[in-house]
Each structure stands twice: as structure tokens, then as C-alpha cells.
Amino acid sequence: MEAKDNEKQELQEELKTEQTEKKESSWSTVGLEKEEKKDSKKKKNSAFTWVIRIIIVAILLLIAVFVLDTSKYYKNDDITDRTNLIINNNNVTARVKKDLIIENDVIFMSMSDIKNFFDKYIYEEKDEQMIITTYDDNIAEVGFTGNSISINDTTKRVKAVAIERNDVIYLPISEMTNVYNIELEYIKETDIVTMDSLKKEQVKAEVSKDISVKRYARILSRTVDKIESGDSVIIVTKRDDGWTKVRTQNGKIGFVKTNILQNEVIVREEEVIKKQVEGKINMFWDYYSEYRTAPDREGEEIEGVNVVSPTFFYIDGKAKFQDKVGQEGVDYIKWAHTNNYKVWAMISNTEASSIGGSSNILKVTSQIMNSYKLRKELINNIVNACEQYDLDGINIDFEYMYERDKDLFSRFIIELQPNMQRIGKVLSVDVTAPDGSPNWSLCFDRTVIANSADYIVFMGYDQVGGSNDTPGTTAGCNWVENNIVKFINNCDVDPQKLILGIPFYTRLWTETPDGKVSSRAVAIKDVESNIPSNVTKTWDEDLKQYFVQYKSRSEIKTMWIEDNESLKEKVSLVTKYNLAGVSAWQKGQEDSNTFRVISETLNEKQRID
């Protein structure tokens, strides 16, 4: 009995132990699950924390980028330590070399700044103790004493004249607004001077509400001015993004929304300069000496021609302007205008050789160029002749000048141009090829001449002149083209201001058995009669002309032929380089087809363009 009780007790203890183990096992499992859940939660919390951190960092980066990007639009880059200058709605203060001087309600601008903004060729005439400045059709003389200045030979009383401060010359630009064709205003409240060209369009508008004017075309940008409803602003430019650049009454430049502008008015229209000759210029020189009268061309019609240049005027051996128009010249002008040809009469200095030979040309021309009074006297004579004879322009043909007078010849052209422009006449200037001898080629500043005159004419001939002791072509096409490129690239000449001069002649060269070389000019119309019929012509592809060489008795004859075929090649360069046109030296040397070939070549090329 006792044994059974012991067994029963052992069984109960085993069951109890088993239950305890199960319970402990169950608790252990629950603990493990709790621990696992706890670890999972920790991991999730950690991952979430990192996500939050990443988002915060990204937001901070975005804010930093936004702040950095926006800060440049709030940067105050105004120049506040001197008077600001606004020219044609552009703040050019940073480019001003010398600060503006404002004294007794007069605004002075330095000569160097006037050179930069208005007249690049402003000039101090030390002998006359005055400043000569030109702009468009105006020429002004400003002295350092007195109370007047001269504008186009008319005296104007002014509050101030030129002054010199610390070796810097200043001009009273507020007294010279009609010289530079500007409207000038000084806004004392903002210390701003505005200058507006009277030849540029100006549009004004009103604002429909109070608004801040922004430095840039965006809302988040620095405010440069505040304007009220009804205020007037000058419209500078309209943009496609809904913003408009304006100038306020305070002289401030910034942006406003386009939709707040109303009642736009064109205050001033853009001045459009119309060329006297539309399309390519087809011109010729009509030469006759001082001992002859103008040719009678009554009844002639010349195909394609739109400009003629008769040699009406010259400088004589005593540096005097001479007129050889006469009644025949008056009839010539009438004939030209009847045929709708413009008359750009030539004035030459070469007839000064009639007294003292060719050396007198140098002397006489230098005498005129070195004197402001003589230059002015010659200019006045030219202007008076243009008006007297109803000419359309002048062609300056000055040859053989001292290289040392190069800048003074440029001054002559600079001073002549405003006078011609004011009376609506064209100024063209003949020059030689860029490279050559000092008194033949280096005496021209082609850049300045081209900038100042309406046209610069390259006399594309005498590549090898008659005085040479080695035979050569008068105008090889490759030489002509190379020089055109020099004009454009080296001399910075606008192609559309460059007229190509072409020759209506060539040279027949003769070499004797003892080696002496001479030549004589042969007109195109006479070429065939100067070459024996049995002589073979050889085409030179580089020169674009025929070449002949033959023996006549004991002499060797050589000719590089100038004919309609060679002229066509040269005329084609006008289109290739978009030049202004051609001019031929000289009328009367052509054959019956020459002008037709020139006209067809110009027109054909223009149609292709």
C-alpha cells in the first residue's frame, strides 16, 4: 500500500515537473517572442529615425540651395559713391572712366568718356585751342574760354565751355545735347543722369497699381524702386515670360509684370536711315582734265548704271579749290538725273602737279591737311558746290600723300562727313590696296575712313603700274580678292561700305633687246586691235584673265588682257563678299558689251542670294 502511494506520489511529482517545464517552456517562448518583437520595433524605430534624418537633411539642402540661389537676386550691386549714368536705358556707370562733374547746373563729361560713348574721333586742335567733336550730322568747336560754342558754324551761347581738371579735359555735355542728339536729365534725388538718343524709339506706359520694381524678372528679387498707380515708366524691353523691363521716373531700371502696364504711347519713333542707292552700286568715273569740258552724253543710256562720278573739281598747284563744271557740267548733271543716275562728283588733288610736278601734289595736300582752317575752307567749298549744282554726293580722290599726314587726312574725312550728311549728300573716298609704299598706300587709315565716310572705294588696279621695270598684270583676280579680304579682316571695313574699283584698261608691255621695259595703257575696246591675229591667248586660272606674249621685230610684247570675261570674274567678288558694288575707271574705255556684262553679273548674283 505504501509502495503504491510512493508510486502515485512520484507520478504526481513527474507530472508537476512536466507541467512546470511546459510552463517554463511556454514562458520562455513568450519571452523570446517578446524579445523578437522588441528587437523588430527597435529596428523599425531606427530605420524611421534615419528616414527622418535623411528628409531633414534633404530639406536643409533644398533650403540652402534656395537661399544661395535666391541670395544673388537680392545682392545690392548698385554703385552709390558717384553719380550714375544711364545711356539709352543702360546703366553704364561702371564703364565711366572719369566721374561726371556737376557744377552750377552744368554737367561735364570727360573727353575720354565722350570718346567712348559718343565720338570716337573727338580731337583736340591745339593750334586753335579748341576741341573738335563730330556726331551724326553735327560738328562742334568748343573752346576753353568765353561763353559760346560753334555748332555747324552757328554760334550758341552756353553756361560753360571746356574745362581742364588734373590734366583731364571735360566738356559741358548738358550744353551740347543738340550736338550729340540726346535728351538729358539730371535726377537730383537719386543722383542719376539719363541720356537718351533722339533717334531711338521711346515708348511710355502707365502702371495700373502700386508696385515694386524688381532688380530681376522674378518676385523673389531685390526691389530697386517703388512706383504708384498712374506713374509713368519708359518701356525698355518686353519679355515672353510676362515681365517687362522699365525705367522709372527716378531713373531706376528694373522689372514689373507686363499685365500692370496700360496706356502705352510711342513718344518717339526710331529714325530709319534710307540709303541713297538701293541694291548694288554700279558706278563709273567720267574723267576729263582741267583743260577740257564735261563730256556730252545727251541721249546715252548705260545699262545697269546708277551712279556717275564726273571729275568736276580739283585742287590746283596753289592749294586752291577749283570748279570746272561749266555749262557742259550742268548739262551733264541734267542728263544723269534724267536717267535716274546719282551724281557723286569727284574732287582730285593730282592736278596740283601742273605746278611743280608730282612732288607738288605731296606739298599742296600736306599744306591743306595740316591746317584746320584750310581743311574747313575746303569742306565749305565742297558743301557749297554740292548745293549749287544739285549734286548727290562727292567722291574724294586724293593720291600721293605723305604717310605722316595719314591721321590728318582722316581728320579731313571725319570733319567733312557731318557737313555732307546734314545736306543729305553721300561721301565716298578712294583708296589704294592696303600694302604698298608710304606715300601711295600707307598714307590711308582705311579703318577710320570706312567708319567715317558712307563708302570707301578700293581702286583695284595698277597691281603692276606703268612705272615698274618688270611687266605684270594690271589687276589679277587673286590679287584683287586677297586685298578685299585684307580690307574686311585686317582693316575692319564693313563689306557693305566697300566699293570695288575695276579697270577698263590694261597695259601692253615692251621689252627691248637691251633690257629696257616700258608700257602703255590700252583700253578694253582697243585690246584686240593691239594683238596680232596669229597670237595665241592663254588663260591664267589664278589671275582669271588671258595672257599673250609675242615678238615684234626685236622687241618682246606682253599683255595680261583685261576684257569682259576678266571683269566678270572680278565683279563676281562683289557678291561673294557682299560688297556695296563696283566702280569702273574710266568711262569711254569699255566696249559695247561691258556694261551689260557688269549689270548681268551683279543682278545674277543678287538673284542667287
Judge contact between 507 and 558, C-beta under 8 A.
Answer: no
Which residues in 47-85 are b (16+ Cβ under 10 Å) and which e? eeeeeeeeeeeeeeeeeeeeeeeeeeeeeeeeeeeebbb
Query: CA 434, CA 312: separation in Å to the nearest integer?
Result: 27
Backbone angles phi, psi at 445, to 5 degrees: -95, 90
Query: CA 232, CA 123: separation in Å to the nearest integer?
Result: 40
Q: Which residues pair with 585 in a beta bridge?
A: 503
Query: CA 548, CA 566: separation in Å to the nearest integer?
Result: 14
Of the candidates 118, 248, 269, 246, the residue with the CA atom closest to the CA atom of residue 200: 269
Q: Longest C-alpha distance within the chain, in Å?
A: 176
Distances (CA, A) of 244 to 147, 265, 278, 576: 44, 15, 37, 41
Helix or strand run (H / E) with residue 296? none
Q: Which three cell numbers stand for residue 478?
A: 587673286
Q: Which three cell numbers stand for residue 24?
A: 517554463
Query: CA 571, CA 599: separation in Å to the nearest integer?
Result: 9
Query: CA 272, CA 294: separation in Å to the nearest integer?
Result: 36
Query: CA 349, CA 439: separation in Å to the nearest integer?
Result: 14
Query: CA 195, CA 201: separation in Å to the nearest integer?
Result: 13
Q: With DSSP H G I counted as helix, E B as strand and the rest as coil, what are the percentages for the chain, rounded to 5?
A: 35, 30, 35
Of the candidates 326, 323, 332, 325, the residue with the CA atom closest to the CA atom of residue 296: 332
- For the chain, the straight-line distance linking the first and the last C-alpha, in angstroms and rounded, comes to 135
Judge contact between 470 and 517, C-beta under 8 A.
Answer: yes
Q: What one-letter code names the amino acid at 602?
A: L
Query: CA 72, CA 467: separation in Å to the nearest integer?
Result: 69
399 included as an active-site residue: yes
Q: What is the dihedral of CA 74, 79, 84, 87, to 10 degrees?
A: -60
Cis, bond preceding 586 (omega within 30 deg of 0): yes
Q: What one-letter code names the amino acid at 594?
A: T
Query: CA 376, CA 106: separation in Å to the nearest integer?
Result: 30
Q: Which of 141, 175, 351, 399 is catalytic?
A: 399
Query: CA 173, CA 163: separation in Å to the nearest integer?
Result: 12
Catalytic residue positions? 399
